[in-house]
């Protein structure tokens, strides 16, 4: 009351009696209103304190002391890749690493603080840093965020905090001059980005390779100041048989590269962190779930921001191992054979050379080799999977499928298959066999001889018969476009022009040329392999189907999936790949016998125009088909040289298929030289030839 009297006394000072009387009632009203408002506020505050401390005090105390139990995950060692002989092709090399386990409910400010402190001791300057990473780090500083929000007009009451942040990010993206980072800050920004990309209670690598002893010592000394950071172990891939195998086995992502951009959303949805190691290509990608293993799981109890208890619930499981059908030593030998003989093919305008060695009865791949070449620069790159994704116009090597199509369609039979090789002349256009351009070498040829001398005329006549076209010299080619359909139907049946289903990502179907009436003449080119383009793996599947008597086998590279013993060696077999018959060719034994005879004559025939007589003396005996296709590189005329064959001729154990697109030396026989050396290497390195050395057709 003394205080109120004093206030009233102030109002009385400096006024006349008359004025004081007039204002007395006004002052009293205002004062009473002020006292009432203050009283109401005190009552509300008292009520709120009563609610918090008396009515719900125990509940809020319990909330503060509440313990959360969650599962923390940690990475495990990736499975390894072995060759068919148990040699490690892709292994793991252990490294000391700096890791970070993200706590639950960790704020950006806390991450920023830990990243800045860790950045004093660890250099990750070689890691990738995007503009968005820089901006996020810059805005993690509260002072920077407020300043940018003001410049971006993002801080008004109608904007949510997330919207305000996004608006600030957009502003900096459009005004990069408004922020900058020093080299030291960029290093810390990379650490901040790695930490931000981790899931709650998951462990990620901050630095997985190249950690120096000084970094280990300084981090270890300050672990209590950088919560979540630990010294751990990481693994990177190594290649005991040479890095060329990466072209086949593929590569994995690292903390530097992060998850593949085209897979990031799918992988994040599966629980991966942004900088987890995953397969990026080929076998590593195809068998990612097998090789990745299972992360360890630790039950973590937290009180507030402190970990009070941790119990290992699952120790994790190292990724399972792949055992391939490939013999790594033989694989390298085939790669060397291609490399050593490539120049002899006249490769100035060539785009590469590819080879596949396959078991015709199971589909197992013994070797897959290749070289990609840039004709502009002459640069050559190991490209072993080019055999599944580089379509090539292969030439006459496909004629075995053409003859099989003629037999299955009934236009020729095993007992009635003789036609006359002569130039095919249609309305001023002439197409002919390589040995009979003028018609001076016209001769009767049956199906085996047509393969022996590689008769284009014979194949074109089969195509016209299948399409129901009655050929007459010099008349227009009014043949139906069903000629394309018929030829491709039988080619596809043997694997040409369709995906083989090999256990590698990225396989292509090849290339199919236009099939309308305007291109009807190309149907004749298609019949002898000079139109559509196929891959070398398709060539191997096609020849295997002929070699084994009509079973189209799916090619495969992974023979087994195996675990790991406690000592690190290969463990028990988890699964075994079973040979898969994709189709049984509806042809008779007599049909196949006729084609087998022709393929034997290709390498052992006595006709003056035999095409692969250079392979006659190979032991065990080889049957097969060569191929030449007229091609161009820009304005330069070139020839694609191919070969596909099997050995032994009377009991096929192995198929070799290869192609050299863009050769400028078609007379050198580089395709046969390569095939010959590959067969010899196979019998020396993969399978003993003793049982088959005296074999013949």
What is the C-alpha separation between 607 and 379, in angstroms, rounded? 41
Check residue 293 and give its pLDDT: 85
DSSP class of residue 102 equals: P
What is the C-alpha separation between 515 and 528, in angstroms, rounded? 16
Residue 506 φ then ψ, to 5°? 95, 10
Check residue 4 and give its pLDDT: 46
* Cβ within 8 Å of residue 554, ≥6 positions away: 363, 500, 501, 502, 579, 580, 581, 582
Q: Are residues 363 and 556 in contact, defined by beta-carbon separation less than 8 angstroms?
A: yes
- CA 544, distance to chain mean position in Å, is 27
* Cβ within 8 Å of residue 600, ≥6 positions away: 621, 623, 649, 697
Residues recognised as catalytic: 396
**Helices 589-604, 536-547: inter-axial angle, 10-degree rounding:** 120
Q: How far are the Cα atoms of 42, 302, 429 from residue 305, in angstroms, in the given order?
A: 35, 6, 85
Q: Are residues 529 and 496 in contact, defined by beta-carbon separation less than 8 angstroms?
A: no
* Grouped pLDDT means (10 residues each) for the chain, 697 residues: 49 49 63 79 76 61 53 76 96 90 84 94 89 93 90 73 88 92 94 85 83 93 90 88 92 76 76 77 94 76 59 77 97 97 95 98 98 96 96 97 98 97 92 95 97 97 96 92 97 98 96 95 97 98 98 98 91 96 98 98 96 94 96 91 97 98 90 97 95 69
Check residue 417 and give its pLDDT: 97
Q: How far are the Cα atoms of 380, 394, 459, 608 from residue 641, in angstroms, in the given order?
A: 18, 7, 19, 20
Q: Are residues 190 and 131 in contact, defined by beta-carbon separation less than 8 angstroms?
A: no
pTM: predicted TM-score of the whole model, two decimal places: 0.81
Q: 329-560+573-685 has which fold?
A: Beta-lactamase (3.40.710)
Q: How far are the Cα atoms of 208, 233, 267, 311 from residue 126, in angstroms, in the given order?
A: 12, 19, 24, 35
Residue 368 φ then ψ, to 5°? -140, 110
Give the residue extent of every domain in the chain: 1-12+27-45, 329-560+573-685
Q: Are residues 352 and 383 in contact, defined by beta-carbon separation less than 8 angstroms?
A: yes
What is the C-alpha separation between 131 and 176, in angstroms, rounded? 9
Q: Is 528 helix (H, G, I), strand (E, B) or coil?
A: coil
Q: How would you label 553-571 residue by residue, b for 16+ Cβ within 10 Å and e otherwise?
A: bbbbbbbbbbebeeeeebe
Q: Are residues 237 and 92 in contact, defined by beta-carbon separation less than 8 angstroms?
A: yes
């Amino acid at each position: 009351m003394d205080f109120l009297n004093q206030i009233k006394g102030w109002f009385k000072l400096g006024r006349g009696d008359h004025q004081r009387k007039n204002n007395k009632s006004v002052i009293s009203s205002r004062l009473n209103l002020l006292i009432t408002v203050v009283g109401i506020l005190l009552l509300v505050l008292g009520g709120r304190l009563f609610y918090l401390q008396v009515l719900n005090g125990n509940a809020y105390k319990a909330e503060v002391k509440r313990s959360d139990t969650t599962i923390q995950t940690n990475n495990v060692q990736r499975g390894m890749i072995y060759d068919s002989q148990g040699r490690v092709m892709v292994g793991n090399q252990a490294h000391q690493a700096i890791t970070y386990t993200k706590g639950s409910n960790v704020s950006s400010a806390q991450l920023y603080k830990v990243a800045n402190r860790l950045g004093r001791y660890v250099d990750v300057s070689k890691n990738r840093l995007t503009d968005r990473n820089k901006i996020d780090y810059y805005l993690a500083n509260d002072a920077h965020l407020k300043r940018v929000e003001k410049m971006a007009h993002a801080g008004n009451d109608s904007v949510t905090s997330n919207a305000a942040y996004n608006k600030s990010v957009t502003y900096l993206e459009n005004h990069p001059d408004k922020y900058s980072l020093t080299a030291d800050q960029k290093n810390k920004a990379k650490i901040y980005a790695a930490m931000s990309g981790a899931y709650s209670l998951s462990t990620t690598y901050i630095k997985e390779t190249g950690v120096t002893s000084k970094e280990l010592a300084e981090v270890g000394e300050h672990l209590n100041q950088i919560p979540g950071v630990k010294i751990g172990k990481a693994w990177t891939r190594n290649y005991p048989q040479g890095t060329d195998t990466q072209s086949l086995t593929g590569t994995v992502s690292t903390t530097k590269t992060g998850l593949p951009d085209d897979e990031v959303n799918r992988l994040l949805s599966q629980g991966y962190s942004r900088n987890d190691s995953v397969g990026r290509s080929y076998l590593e990608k195809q068998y990612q779930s097998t090789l990745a293993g299972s992360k360890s799981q630790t039950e973590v109890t937290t009180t507030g921001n402190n970990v009070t208890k941790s119990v290992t619930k699952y120790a994790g499981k190292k990724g399972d191992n792949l055992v391939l059908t490939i013999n790594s030593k033989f694989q390298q030998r085939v790669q060397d054979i291609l490399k050593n003989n490539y120049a002899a093919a006249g490769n100035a305008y060539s785009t590469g050379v590819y080879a596949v060695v396959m078991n015709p009865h199971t589909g197992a791949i013994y070797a897959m080799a290749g070289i990609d070449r840039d004709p502009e620069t002459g640069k050559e790159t190991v490209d072993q999977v080019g055999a599944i994704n580089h379509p090539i116009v292969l030439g006459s090597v496909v004629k075995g499928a053409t003859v099989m199509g003629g037999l299955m369609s009934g236009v020729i039979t095993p007992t009635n298959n003789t036609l006359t090789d002569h130039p095919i002349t249609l309305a001023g256009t002439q197409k002919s066999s390589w040995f009979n351009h003028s018609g001076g070498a016209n001769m009767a040829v049956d199906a085996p001889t047509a393969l022996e001398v590689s008769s284009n005329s014979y194949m074109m006549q089969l195509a016209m018969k299948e399409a129901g076209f009655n050929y007459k010299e010099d008349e227009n080619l009014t043949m139906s476009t069903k000629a394309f359909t018929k030829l491709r139907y039988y080619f596809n049946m043997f694997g040409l022009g369709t995906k083989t289903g090999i256990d590698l990502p990225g396989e292509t179907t090849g290339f199919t040329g236009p099939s309308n009436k305007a291109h009807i003449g190309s149907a004749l080119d298609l019949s002898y392999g000079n139109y559509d383009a196929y891959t070398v793996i398709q060539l191997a599947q096609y020849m295997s189907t002929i070699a084994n008597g009509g079973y189209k086998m799916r090619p495969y590279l992974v023979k087994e999936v195996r675990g790991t013993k406690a000592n690190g060696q290969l463990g028990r077999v988890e699964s075994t790949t079973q040979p898969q018959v994709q189709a049984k060719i509806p042809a008779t034994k007599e049909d196949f016998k006729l084609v087998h005879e022709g393929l034997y004559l290709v390498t052992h025939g006595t006709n003056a125009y035999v095409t692969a007589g250079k392979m006659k003396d190979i032991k065990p005996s080889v049957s097969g088909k060569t191929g030449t296709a007229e091609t161009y590189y820009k304005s330069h005329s070139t020839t694609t040289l191919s070969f596909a064959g099997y050995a032994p001729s009377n009991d096929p154990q192995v198929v070799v298929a290869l192609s050299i697109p863009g050769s400028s030396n078609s007379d050198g026989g580089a395709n046969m030289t390569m095939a010959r050396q590959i067969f010899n290497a196979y019998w020396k390195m993969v399978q003993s030839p003793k049982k088959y050395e005296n074999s013949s057709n």
